[in-house]
Structure 1
Amino acid sequence: MLTSNGYVLDERRVGELSVVPERERGELHGLRERLRRDGYLYLTGLLDAEVVQGFREYYFGLTGAAADRPSYRKVLFDQIVPGPEYAAFCAQPALKGWFEWFLGGEPFLHKRKIIRQTAPGENGIGTATQAHYDLVYLRGGSDQVLSAWIPLGDCPVSRGGLTYLEGSHHRVLAEEAAGTLKRPAASMTADLPGLAVQYNANWLVTDYAAGDVVIHTAHTIHAALDNVSTEMRLSTDIRYQFADDAIDGRWQNHWHDQDGL
């Protein structure tokens, strides 16, 4: 049984995230077409798993010593988020180089980069990332910004990985173009089962492994599942775009959960 913020997903509206086959990884035109078609690219093993695990150990090595919530927040926002280790991880050649190749020019990494931690058993409203598409938070720049969601360690479905609403970007694009989708800079809903019915679409899930990366467009609806495992779920989401395109200036400061974005 899969849940998100306590809502139980209808198993009849759950599908499998599609992996980009190894033979297609080097076909630039095909990858761009696949992204336009599916709204995401699931690239297994794009990163070195040992590099990912090393950053996970670095993170928990610092936060594990924080005995209370205020101490944890201080470590997260004063040390980890602005720290050189996180910066290096997000700009590692396997990531930045891929975006340079895919975009066909100099890539720009938004300074506001987010780390999400979910403990086992957390399942109240607001615990898991609610359904949204990224453009509602990034309207000050290009709508061609791409997000990279990276599990920091293995993340099976039970640990609460990201889930994508199949084909949702096509409807979002159409409604954005028509001006009929006027949403504030906020999540759409915590009710993933209801949204699946509204869009007549499946929520796509998979068991992620350390080294996997999912690239998705700014129009693709996604959310997170509840962590029903016994292990901590840790991930980061970062955003790259073509450096010559318009850039949202609000995203050029380090992330803080009180920054209003």
Structure 2
Amino acid sequence: MLTSNGYVLDERRLGELAPVPDAERADRDVLRARLQRDGYLYLTGLLDPVVVLAFREYYFGLTGAAADRATYRKVLFEQIVPGPEYAAFCAQPALKGWFEWFLDGEPFLHRRKIIRQTAPGENGIGTATQAHYDLVYLRGGSDQVLSAWIPLGDCPISRGGLTYLEGSHHRVLVEEAAGRLKRPAASITADLPALAIEYDANWLVTDYRAGDVVVHTAHTVHAALDNVSEDMRLSTDIRYQRADDAIDTRWQHHWHDRDGL
């Protein structure tokens, strides 16, 4: 049984997140068409798992010593988030180089980069990322910004990985153009089963492995599942775009969960 923020997902409205086939990985035009069609690119094994697991170990090596919530927050926002280890991980050649190739131009990495940790058994409203699409938080720049969601370690479905609402970006694009969607920035809902019915679409899930990356458009609706495993779920989401496109200046500071964005 899969849940998100305590809501039970309808098994009849679940599907499988489709990885990009090996035969398409080196064809930029095919990948762009696929992104336009599906709203996401699931790139299995894009990163070296050793590098991913080393960063996970670094993270828990620092936060694991935090005796209380206040100490944890201090380590996270004053040491890890602005630190050189996190910066290097997010700009590693396998990642930055892929965006440079795919965008066919100089890539720009937004400084506001987010790390999410979910402990086993956390559920209820607010514990898992609610359904949303990223453009509502990035209206000050290009709508062509791309998000990369990266599981920091293996993330089977039970550990609460990201789930995507199939084909949702097509409807979002239409409603954005008509000005019918939420302003200012806000999540759509925590009720994923109801949203699947409203969109007449499936939530796509998969068992992620260390080294996998999902790239999605700014219009693709996504959310997180609850962690019902026995292990900690850790991930990061970062944003790349072409450097010569309009850039949202609000996202050029290090992330803090009280930064108002």
| Pairing 1:176-191 to 2, within 5 Å after superposition | 176-191=176-191
CA distance, structure 2, for counterparts of residue 205 and residue 82 of structure 1: 31
Tell me the equivalent position of 1:256: 256
Tell me the equivalent position of 1:133: 133
Tell me the equivalent position of 2:226: 226
Tell me the equivalent position of 2:163: 163
Kindly, what percent of the aligned residue pairs are identical?
Answer: 85
Cα displacement (A) at 1:184: 2.6
Distance change >3 Å, CA 199–CA 183, structure 1 → 2: farther
Tell me the equivalent position of 1:198: 198
SS in 2 for 1:195: helix
Cα displacement (A) at 1:178: 1.5
Does residue 1:245 correspond to 2:218, yes or no? no
CA distance, structure 2, for counterparts of residue 225 and residue 25 of structure 1: 28
TM-score computed with the length of structure 1 as normaliser:
0.99
SS in 2 for 1:86: helix
Cα displacement (A) at 1:182: 3.4
Tell me the equivalent position of 2:88: 88
1:176 counterpart letter in structure 2:
E
Moved over 2 A (4+): none
Unmatched tracts of structure 1, length 5 or more = none
Cα displacement (A) at 1:183: 3.5
CA distance, structure 1, for counterparts of residue 124 and residue 63 of structure 2: 23
| Pairing 1:1-261 to 2, within 5 Å after superposition | 1-261=1-261
CA distance, structure 2, for counterparts of residue 90 and residue 172 of structure 1: 28
Cα displacement (A) at 1:185: 0.4
CA distance, structure 2, for counterparts of residue 127 and residue 156 of structure 1: 18
Residues 212-234 of structure 1: per-residue CA shift (max 9 Å, x gap): 00000000000000000000000
CA distance, structure 1, for counterparts of residue 192 and residue 121 of structure 2: 18
CA distance, structure 2, for counterparts of residue 78 and residue 116 of structure 1: 16
TM-score computed with the length of structure 2 as normaliser:
0.99
1:136 counterpart letter in structure 2:
V
CA distance, structure 1, for counterparts of residue 143 and residue 213 of structure 2: 21
SS in 2 for 1:163: strand
1:126 counterpart letter in structure 2:
G
1:130 counterpart letter in structure 2:
Q
SS in 1 for 2:78: helix
CA distance, structure 1, for counterparts of residue 259 and residue 54 of structure 2: 28
Instruction: State the number of aligned residues.
Output: 261
